[in-house]
Structure 1
């Protein structure tokens, strides 16, 4: 092949850097033929196969012989640091166009960084892992194909289940890509079917809503007509009221203006009289001031006259008083002189007593000083005794510590002795155990000899068991397949139910079936964008299944009404919808909706099931809401009963039948067919629970089936294990003789070991005895030291007790002397206090003497002053008598002028009286006018209020200005008939019941959505049909190709098997030929000279050679561009290795081989030899030799 040089090279180059042990950049150039990689164990040669597998997209860390993907990056060595990236590039020749790329060479590169990031490249262009897989799909090249075959692949063929073994044939048949495409198509088909189920449920839900919503839209339309007429009439009434009020206001304003003009004229006259009155009051005030001024002058003259008279009397009294004072002073002066003489004698006596007190104080201080010195000396002795006591206590404590230390040493020595005694006992026990063990070994030798004779009998029995287990395995395998099929059917049924339940849950979560506005609000509440949304009416009530149709029909659109905590929450929700432009919704605030039970005649009798509000379940806080919606609705058995009972109650209540026919309040009827098998928003929750129950039942059945399946699998495994066990035990019987002899030799060696251990125990026993004697001597020495310390401690205790007694006596004496000291200090303080008091009294006497001398001098001066004052008073009396005569003449003139002024004042007061009377009359007339004006103004205010109320109602109720309302209101001819028509319209509106005004818009959207969904269903059904056609076509292609390939591989396998084994026969068998796409592949082999057996009964070498034969047969049918073989011939003997190598040589004509091996026979057929060494620890290096060139040179 190499001589011709015409063979095309498929795998050209492998570049490795940082991958596992290849730290440095390493290039492997591949040539046609066989390239062999050799090297000692642990050198890293298998890392080359791992590198090829990795660059082709292998994701299994286990297949790469690692724990995590980062393990493929060079981890460092003693001399090298770890690398941060691993990179492998594989270059493949594409001149034959095996790959769908317009390049003669295709280079696939894979990189991995320690951060976990990875890159894939094709011809240095970044791509996805999926692109790499698709590039090699059905080419025989790839991580799952047969281009890389290691010992693990051989083991996989040997141990795999038949269904798993068919994967090799699928790769050879080139149907892997079809199976992958079919899997994608099936997944799309399942998604399409799930979408169809979902759309069908949605259409069913929407269709069920269509008829009720159409009825609601019709009622809403009638309501709007009534409402428009009602609004027009009410606007006309308000306009009429406003215009009447305007006319009355004009007339009233004219009357008020006339009265105001007359009132102004009277007020002007009133003000003129007030000015005249003020002028006369001013004159009167001036006259009163003149009268007061002259009265004041007369009063002052009288006061002056009285003053002179009083001063004369006072002067006479003072003269009399001066005489009395002069006599008293003379007496006081004599008394002061006598008291001063007495004080002089007292001061002299007091000074003598003070001298005696000073002497007594000095004696007391001397006694106190002497006693304090005595106490100080005794206290010094007490301090010395205390210090001595503390010293003794310290020495005593140290002695106790030393004694404790010795006690601890004695206890430690005793513990060591006890430990030695335990050790001695243990040695004794061990010695006895060794003697027993020696006897047991001898018994085992006897037992081993007996076992040899029983070995042949066991072998014959095992052959019988093997045949019985093999027959039972075949029967149980058939039963197991039937159980698997049954469980798959149950699983499919459960998945369909869960899929439908999932669709219903998604519809419930997404608000399917609800109007747009309701869905938006529920989602906003779920995301906490709105507060106070408690849910829809449908979500808040639980309806028995029998009543669902009736309740859904009677509530209709009311099921979508949203219940809120209060009207404020409802207003916020309305603003939210308005701002978001997300449709409309109807709200039922808990604080405003107050439903009440009907108090009048209730329908009773046969056919009445009950009041609707009492037949549903709900939280008691929603009682008002439910009464509002269903309080006047009664559930009856059939339509005739409903009509009859409605007539009996005067059509005051709504009647609904079990099948959804309605008799409305007022007498209208609603009915017809109701579509069956539809899931409404009210029954959706029940359907979800029912489906969950069905799924749980199926789950129990599946679990039971799986348990049975598991038991059956365990049984099959147990049978397989039993078969393998029988075979294993048969092989073990032939080796048992050698094993028994080896065990006998080991037990004899064990006896020698036991003898040596007994000698060692004897020596340890003697050593323990000597150590115990030394410890006992140490304990006696420590006991002697302990006795000496105890005597020393007793002496310390006696001295301490003596000092403590002396200190106690000293403290008691100090207490007694302290009391005496206190008494002396009190005596000194008493003397000092008496002397201080005596000195203060002496000073007081001296001060009193000084005061008496001052009093005497003062009284003498005062007596001289009194005599001078008496003469002054006599002169003043004469002057006062002269002035009194002058005042009496002036007083007579003033009284004459005062009389004339009083007459003028009286004249002015008469004029003021007349003016005041006229002012009162004018004031009364003005008050009458003002009261009348006020009454008319109040009337005007009421009319204006009524006018404003009418205009405000127009604005608030109808959002119209007054001028706009004139053109929209009806013309009012007769007010009574208009009011009667308004009442009729309100009764008609009330008879309609709760009206969903959004129903018209919702109905239009519903129709549009139904048309859209129906179109989607048609599209999906067409897509489903196309997918099913594609799957059928791919099944046909895969069936045809697999059958053709199976026949070819089976033929090639039989031929290769005979060549490798030198005879015999082998065959591939399909275990389910009726199911060609899922059938497993069994391998039957009969080596030369043996019976036909399954793989599990062959020897290790035969099994490996059979697996190699199958791989070579596949390569023969579908040659791979290249093939990597990683030590697959390791289990073969030399003769089989030679046959294997010869086959490699033959196959190398069409397939390029990269072989990793250490067998000599394989090396002999290689064209290029690479050697992998590890000169540096942990780092692999590569050497290459072209053996073909060497052979040519040798020849």
Structure 2
């Protein structure tokens, strides 16, 4: 099985998909260093399972992915496809690696493990990498490697490497089995101990159950005794509580009357205090006005003093500013005189500077023209020099071009003939592929249409199924919510029905709440108005009396007479017709037929709109009861209960009935939906199975079409490339002929031109030297003239700066003078204004004095009125205090009664709490309610005093038993079965271990036989090949430890002709390389490898040894496919096919191929 082709994409320096077709015989890969030749070898190793980064010349796994360059970004995946073929089959191996770290292997298109690929290669006699790949630089190191490493190659040839791997797996399996046996024996020991222990525990469990049952019976008697005691205490406390509540209400009524009188007295005091506060406020305002007038008078006096000081300050400032104006006039006169003198000096120096500047400019112009002339001469000289050099180089270049064109003409003619043959082959293949593609595409379209129809049907089914599932889920969720709500309501109802004592009286009709009905909106009104009645058990009076005579009865009962009674509290017709009355309470009730005529003695009420209407009607009709739609209740006694709307037993019953109807309706809706969903699921499974089959067939067609398209695309590309090459070759031949004629003429012209340019170059050089000497002499005189000019210019600039400073100084003085004159005018105006302000302030002071006198008289009058009001207020406050003391005494008396009532209420709550706790304890201990325990008839009568003693004694016995395993009997049976199973497992495991050891012995025997046979044959071949390559000499393979042939390494002894080396490491590099090659070819003779990759193994060989190596390789190329990487021309000559690599772009390998044919001898 040889390599048919290898495809690379994204692997190292191959970013684009590159296909390399390999053929039987010798294929050489050539190219400059660093152009990606060894990357092809790395790709072969990598696709066949190479895992180590260093063996692939990288540091990390991700280094195999193309890393980009300046033009192309890095890729995210490396993909290599290797195709192997022989006469019977073709094998395709694919390895992909993603930059994220994911990796996958495929064998013939199916995703597999790496081990599956390695096993498949073993079956086809393709050994590991060491056998068929001789890497760059490793050939010389082979002889110095360890004996164990040399043995690996012999094991590959002998076929024992596969057995060695199987032996290692078998040994691992044996080791695991022995470990499992040890663990199994430990488990059996543990299970045996547990089994014996459970046998003892089973007896203790039976005794424990009997004792627990006895304690349960005693607990039931104990709870029955406690509930009877608690109920007796509750009746006594309830009576005391009701007496205290009645006394408290009388005191509250008395206290309210006294508080009403006190409130009246407080209003009178408050009105008087407000009147006094208003008077005090007016007095405070008068005091504030008096103070404000005094303050204003003092302020005006201080302002007169301020204006006097301001006037004196302005007079002083005027004198100072007049003195400063005189000083400024004097300085200005001095500055004008200096400015006149400096102007005359500046004019004289400017005239001298002008003359010097003119002379300097003339000199500079002369030097500039002279410099330009020199620069022109130099440029001409360098141009001539450059032209002469270029002409001479051009002549040499044209000679070489002419020679190169001649060689290329010969090469193009040979290539043109080959390309025409290849073009015809590609056209024939393209035509065949196109026919196959049309046929496959037609079949694919038919399958796609069928799949589209199936998918549409499946989508409809899925959509309908999802819709059904959503509806069912919504209904089930709604049902769960309703069920949970029903459970909570029934629990509340059960608690409310604890007052049902129908069982005590067999003739009882049941709770009133169960015997009447009403609309939902009126149900809360029944729970409020008939709260106690709905919880009471309805019973005829004569039946109650019969039962009472027979036994003691406790609970709430609603007695009815067999005779029809008149209404207990009839509603007057005037009240009923009042517009504020919505209706009568009993008219909203629908009683059962058996009690329809027995509700007349129950209280009646008028239903009104709101509480305000109820109070208004009660004042007119105080004998009636009133209830609002919001649940507020006003009884005929005047008792008003507001905010009483809550769920009672009747409301709960109504709600429970409503929820049960909803649950039944939901169940009815779910059933047809579930049936439809089941049908849809079955249809979906059928459609998915059909789609899966058609999809698999479509995938096969896609792969076939893709392969045909790839082949066609490649063939079309090759055809276009070959046609382009043929056209290019023709054009190039024409161009080469014309170029050769042009170049012959050009050589003659260039020779004459070079001679003329040399003469002109020498003439210009002499002229430049003469001009440069004269230019240097004139430049010295010009430097002195420039120095004189700069001295004069500095003097003129200094004078100009002084004049500028004097002008600025004069300007500043003028501005200062103007500012001082303006300030003098301002100060005169300020003095005049101060005199006017003083007159106005004196008039204001006289007016303020008169106002202060009038305000003082009003203030004294207000103080006298406030004193009279204060005396009257003290008397009223004293009366108020006396009334508050009387109310406080009443409150204390009320608090006493309230505390007494609260004390009884707390006692009642404590008994209720004890009852709840007892209920919880009873449920936890017995899983029964107290009422159930109370109704139970004891099996044996035990005195109340003895129950507690017997219970304590039984619990003490239970404590002594300690922990008991109640599941001991069942667990014992389970452990017994497990013990028997583990014993059988132990026996099977021992048999498996014995069988595995026997298999290892057979593997060792077979491996030893095959290895020794291979060693003998390879040693014989090694001697022959060594003698052939070295033209004599001796060589031998031998075991390092003959006593242990299965583990011993292999040593190599070699003596080239004419030498006697004591150690193989003393051989030269070429001799080591040749000896290693002799060993590998000896292996190939014994077990030929389908293909062999040699990476620059000929680098260390001289011409003679290289020729022997190549001759040997040619002899066996018919049985082994050779792939060579080389730089040696001699090696290229023996190749049947050559691939060349270049890098036109950085880090991107470009591949070219040539097929070589032997020229027939004429």
TM value normalised by structure 2: 0.41
- Which structure has the bigger radius of gyration? 1
TM-score normalised by structure 1 residue count: 0.40
